[in-house]
Structure 1
Amino acid sequence: MYTVIGASRNRTFRVIWMLEELGEPYERVRAKQHTPEILQHSRLGKMPVLLDQGEAITDSAAILTYLADRHGKMTAEAGTIARAKQDALTFHVLDDLESIIWTATRHGFILPEERRVAGVKDTAKWEWARNAKAVAERFRGPFVMGDEMTVPDILLTHTLTWGMGAKFAVESEALQDYVKRMQARPAFQRAVESEKEAA
């Protein structure tokens, strides 16, 4: 059984959703960022943390990739062109969407007031819209890589949901429909229930 350490309403959700999609058992340990439960596994105090076989794995994207590789599901085989394209899309989502919404969020209310830069959110919204359009142009459906759900689907759905909740526009109807379909998945709904229990 896997152990997932982290709070609700953050990137921990991605790991819970992945485990629900895989049908793998897990236990949740509720812990907040920078607390001893997290710091003993992550020097930066970041969530989530996955414990497996006595080892800690950090960073949600790394955890998703590990789980996909370990169980041989939701991923192309390592060392293939298909996997290289999948990894490229993973990095595209992380670099060109998630990093933008995270920067805007930090300058909105996380950083100390004297470290926040006014106007960052407006610039971030412009860049987000441009990059979301690029993702939409790559989208083939029904999943982001085509016919099968892969790691980037969890990252993209979570990031788009986060962005839309923060009033960052997603103009593509195809992506809007995609997010609704992904959120309707039984595993997604089970992850939502797990979040409620951990809140």
Structure 2
Amino acid sequence: MIVVHHLNDSRSQRILWLLEELGQPYEIVRYQRDPHTLLAPASLRAVHPLGKSPVVVDGDEVLAESGAIIERLTDRYGNGRLAPPADSPGRGRYLYWLHYAEGSAMPPLLLRLVMDRIESAKMPFFVRPIAHGIVAKVRAGFVDPQLRLHMDYIDAELARNEWFAGDRFSAADVQMSFPLEAAAARGVLADRHVHARGWLVRIHARSAYQRALARGGDYAYASALA
């Protein structure tokens, strides 16, 4: 039986969704974020040294990193579903989006989160103007332009194809769900990004996605467009 070490409001939700799409049985071990730091509990380090989620235990194999987990589970249990064949023309596009999600899309989103937390952090009054000034310059000079670049790029790609790997839903769409949900929740995905927003509506309507929500529990990003 596959065991998913699942942290609330995290990337592990998309692993539950993948397993529902695959129709593969699994068990959930639940963890809650610290309400103040929002970090995963230290108990996750007993499963994997980095103490991050998702972590999947499949037999004797312990898998971490969302992209690696999704690729491994899809290849092992997909029976030709959710991924183009290895020798097909669409395989490269599928692999690109599978790795783009964390390699390119998430870093500027994480930087935006860090900047927002610095702005809202408690600090001496005489330090606040300096800190806010630095944050404003970093956001205006790098973070926000990068976010616009990536969201515009993603939207343009989804204007060409209904799904990330082409005209069929795939595991690449599962992997891309977290960056776009996070972008929508943080106000980065603009109203003009109609194709990306439409894609979010489509994935949220999938029955497997809804089943994963029912099993996984509270997941704030699922209502990002509400």
TM-score by length of 2: 0.77
CA contact 2:47–2:55 (8 Å) conserved in 1 = yes
Tell me the alpha carbon deviations over residues 7-61 of structure 1, each in whole angstroms, 9 at most, x when there is no partner: 111001010010111111111101252523x213322211110000122100111
Which of 135, 151, 156 is equivalent to 1:137?
156
- Count of residue pairs the alignment pairs up: 196
1:8-27 matches, cutoff 5 A? 8-27=8-27
Which of 69, 75, 86 is equivalent to 1:69?
75
User: What percent of counterpart residues are identical?
Assistant: 23
2:145 corresponds to: 126
Which amino acid is the alignment partner of residue 42 of structure 2?
T
Which amino acid is the alignment partner of residue 76 of structure 1?
P
- Highest CA radius of gyration, 1 or 2? 2
- 5+ residue gaps, structure 1: none
Aligned CA distance change for structure 1 residues 54 and 107 (closer, same or farther; 3 Å): farther
Aligned CA distance change for structure 1 residues 50 and 93 (closer, same or farther; 3 Å): same
Per the alignment, in what secondary structure is the counterpart of residue 208 of structure 2? helix
Deviation at 1:79, TM superposition (A): 5.2
2:97 corresponds to: 89
**1:56 corresponds to 2:76:** no
Which amino acid is the alignment partner of residue 90 of structure 2?
A
Which amino acid is the alignment partner of residue 178 of structure 1?
W
Further displaced range: 39-48 or 177-186: 39-48
CA contact 1:125–1:169 (8 Å) conserved in 2 = no
RMSD (Å) for aligned C-alpha atoms: 2.6
Deviation at 1:149, TM superposition (A): 1.3
TM-score by length of 1: 0.86
**1:160 corresponds to 2:180:** yes
Per the alignment, in what secondary structure is the counterpart of residue 180 of structure 1? helix
Per the alignment, in what secondary structure is the counterpart of residue 62 of structure 2? strand
